[in-house]
Chain A
């Protein structure tokens, strides 16, 4: 059952250079209890679409042109600020890329944790405190009492990210959005944080949207993946579909650009040629056309329709000339 359904979402930014269409007719669903990976390079609209879910887009310059975000039966885009505030941090919570800048340096961890419950639940301070320590404990934070009374600058990056995760889990949200949660951390800490997310997903059935540009993270963690490009969905499917039955040329490019253990020293990686599209100018054609090896005339005249790749309809892509599956990876 889908707990979140985004349909035909269009988000634009009004800038001096023109209108940037950061998210262009995006459709996706989040199933209850799944980990959905959203992959794409910078500017592909992954973060913007998630900030839209949270109602955190700066409006203006951003503008939501059209679309629906159904959370249960309600359209989040129709919610007032006050109503959205009740959802944020309570039903849907979010953790961000850089734990070093995302915690308030002037406030104790205790304040920053407790205030989530101060405004979303009727817990007494003592109960709230107990809940905080319980979550810190669950997340494997050593000596939670001590950390609880610390300031952020007294903690390491990994600990800070755990605190961020703890903060988002205090009220057992239905959806956790993780926007590149490991990008700013050491590799070993990255693995720990990813394991933690997986564990949270298993133990509490929390649906997780994981935004990343690291295909390795996706492979290890996600049930389903959607690849975004130029504010659109390029391809979506199960992790296996994406890795082993790749259809969209862009996905293929992404996979080829990952260094692997079989690459010999001195071998060159296969980067995707060209630069990300200028989103002020993407119109009614394939956003990837200029960088695609398989580009043909129709790619430049119309936006490709959503095409189904398998019978049960779980694997989709937006391309006229898909690569044949089963050959890659």
Chain B
């Protein structure tokens, strides 16, 4: 699909001399028919974990490029996830324990806003308030940890909103169950009923959401990295696509796909661990 886009890695404003172009295409196997290219590429990726050389940055392999950038993206993604979980679960628990009171409506109202505002709007609002008006935090770049704060909030907020709603829903369902009444009838203190009897079941819907959520955070990071000028994989992907850097673009996509697979797998395993009724034979 990458190859369907018009142009190639070496079509620039200043054209190469034909013989140089030919040499280059030979080096990157671009002179061969597309199915041969595909075969060679797959063989290399699967058996050697080698995503090939970058067609844009000479002398640098895609593996290398991704390895240097992945740190930024991981920090961003991880930060956003932690932020989303902390805020989302706190808000969700507060809401569920104060069902139909002010402390239920307030966080759920916020959550409504959270899911409705797209991240690129959120980003600029945060930049204007905390960066430009209050001057607390940098609006771009990640020279220090402060640089991550706004991007993480931007990226995590939507997920915090969904997480809080899921937490609230899950907890309300569990708290209405017969076995919670049993726990009360046993004379257990409140915190035991909450922590031991409710939390596990109440957070299950959330756990199954975390797989798609991490995927969402990954793709969301592409936009956020671009806005906040973070040199992560997301930004790399955008650049590689605009540069027709075939191997780099493919490499980024493969890494994204792998991460999503791994997240979903982890979520499934965690699910089995949390719910004894789900067993993997």
Contact = CB atoms under 8 A, between A and B. Distances in A.
Contacts of A108: 276
A181 interface: no
A176 to B, nearest CB: 11
A107 B200 CA distance: 9
Interface in A174-215: none
Q: For A106, A153, A167, which residue has the most chain B Cβ atoms within 10 angstroms?
A: A106
Contact of B277 (A102, A116, A153): A153
B177 A88 contact: no
B192 A102 contact: no
Contact of A105 (B181, B187, B188, B276): B276
The binding surface of chain B is classed by DSSP as helix
A269 interface: no
A87 B177 CA distance: 22
A148 to B, nearest CB: 15
B186 A87 contact: no
Contact of B274 (A85, A101, A106, A116): A106
A142 B57 CA distance: 72
A116 B201 CA distance: 20
A102 B182 contact: yes
A56 B185 contact: yes
B13 interface: no
A88 B182 contact: no
Interface in A135-158: 151, 153
A280 to B, nearest CB: 22
Contacts of A94: 185
Contacts of B277: 105, 151, 153
A89 B178 contact: no
Nearest to B185: A94
A104 B197 contact: yes
Contacts of A101: 177-179
Given A104-B197, A151-B276, A153-B277, A96 B181 contact: yes
A41 interface: no
A128 to B, nearest CB: 13
B196 interface: yes
A134 to B, nearest CB: 18
Contact of B183 (A54, A104, A151): A104
B109 interface: no
A105 B201 contact: yes
A151 B189 CA distance: 23
A84 B188 CA distance: 10
A167 B185 CA distance: 11
Interface in B190-204: 192, 196-197, 200-201
Interface of B: 177-179, 181-189, 192, 196-197, 200-201, 274-277
28 contacts: A56-B181, A86-B187, A88-B184, A88-B185, A88-B186, A89-B185, A89-B186, A90-B187, A94-B185, A96-B181, A96-B182, A101-B177, A102-B178, A102-B181, A104-B182, A104-B201, A105-B275, A106-B197, A106-B200, A106-B275, A111-B196, A115-B186, A116-B186, A119-B186, A120-B187, A151-B276, A151-B277, A167-B186
Interface of A: 54, 56, 84-90, 93-94, 96, 98, 101-108, 111, 115-116, 119-120, 151, 153, 164, 167
Which are the 8 A-B pairs with shortest beta-carbon distances? A88-B187, A89-B187, A89-B186, A101-B178, A104-B179, A151-B276, A106-B200, A94-B185
